Amino acid sequence: MTENLIAATYPSMKKNDLIVIGGAGGFIGGSLTRYFHNQGFTHIRAIDKKPLPMWYQITEGVENLNMDLSEKVNAVKAVEGAMEVYNLAADMGGMGFIERYRVECLRSILINTHLLEAAYNAGVNRYFFSSSACAYNIDLQQDPNVRALKESDAYPANAERGYGWEKLLSEIFCQEYYAERSLETHIARFHNVYGPNGTWDGGREKAPAALCRKVIEAKDNGSLKIEIWGEGTRTRSFMYIDDCTFGIDQIMHCEKLIATPINLGTSEIVSVNELVDIVEEIGDVKLQRTYKLDAPKGVAGRNSDNTFIKSILNWEPNTPLREGLKTTYTWIEQQYYDRKAGKRTVHD
């Protein structure tokens, strides 16, 4: 894991400089809030449109605001006095969500548009945008044995409908605000982030959490069966949350990465069937598999080419999938049985 690595945050930043994190009620935003708090920053403004009781994590000592950043007036209020702004706010989820709710995904561009303009007018020093591997040309992702995607593979543009196009256009906004208005922006293309304190049911969860939950359910109800979306051969790489937060910090504070999209993901590619194998091993169970072939399943293959990030940062996300999944499985299992016992969980 990454807990023992040294934070990359600018030495010139004061611990009471204001850091603003949009989407802080979500999985990655909440984890990033806690990450900076643990680094000793005392002035963090965390913002999400979800009511506070629905936030995945709430960090003590942080200014927590319930605001919809797609509204211009809220974006202006959010960045007042900020030194740095991290935009992780978006309507998104796993493949089941982004294929069914493309309009909602596209509307997230309002968040980035208003937040960028507000940050520029407020004199913010640095602005971070959380992009996605969904911005890559889907023509390059039609084979499970896909070659790893390098940053230039986003063009010629043919992103995933809805979510992918919102990310790609928002990247351009970030690049042009730097080119024309000198607002320092940083852009990371996330590849499938997973870990504790994330979505594990309800339709927005991604494959690692969904499969952990399904294995736990199958063991608990005695069915010993699991339904897999698709044919099980599609491939992805998955990045553990600690690698993600540390990577965001490094990318935001690297002068060589201003207005330059960069992959943030692991290069450890697995098929869905292989992912199930790992979760079954963690759960000490073997399940009968059925395949829902008409379920949302996304592109055939996607993996992160980490040549660029290693050349710039001399680092890449490196938590082994099996290690990260074990921690994630344990957390979801606790959530599952807490809910069954009538206790509150992050989704209740």
pLDDT of residue 3: 47
Range of the domain at 149: 19-194+239-264
- The residue annotated as part of the active site, out of 127, 163, 177, 329, is 163
Residue 173 domain-assigned?
Answer: yes
- DSSP 8-state code for residue 346: T
Paired residues of 209 in beta bridges: none
Run means of pLDDT, 10 residues per run, the chain, 348 residues: 60 91 96 95 96 93 97 98 96 66 86 97 98 92 88 94 92 98 98 93 87 97 94 94 97 97 96 97 97 84 95 96 98 95 80
Residue 70 domain-assigned?
Answer: yes
CATH number at residue 160: 3.40.50.720
User: Which residues touch 172 (CB under 8 Å, ≥6 apart)?
Assistant: none
Residue 134 domain-assigned?
Answer: yes
- pTM for this prediction: 0.93
| Secondary structure E strands in the chain | 19-22, 44-48, 63-66, 84-87, 126-132, 184-190, 193-194, 225-229, 235-237, 239-240, 262-264, 269-271, 288-292
Residue 181 domain-assigned?
Answer: yes
For the chain, the straight-line distance linking the first and the last C-alpha, in angstroms and rounded, comes to: 29
Integer-rounded Cα radius of gyration of the chain: 19
Count structural domains, the chain: 1
Amino acid at 187: I
Amino acid at 95: M
* Catalytic residue flag (residue 177): no
- Whether 228 and 291 have beta carbons less than 8 Å apart is answered as yes
Residue 314 domain-assigned?
Answer: no
φ and ψ at residue 132, rounded to 5 degrees: -150, 155
- Whether 229 and 304 have beta carbons less than 8 Å apart is answered as no
User: Which residues touch 342 (CB under 8 Å, ≥6 apart)?
Assistant: none
Residue 62 domain-assigned?
Answer: yes
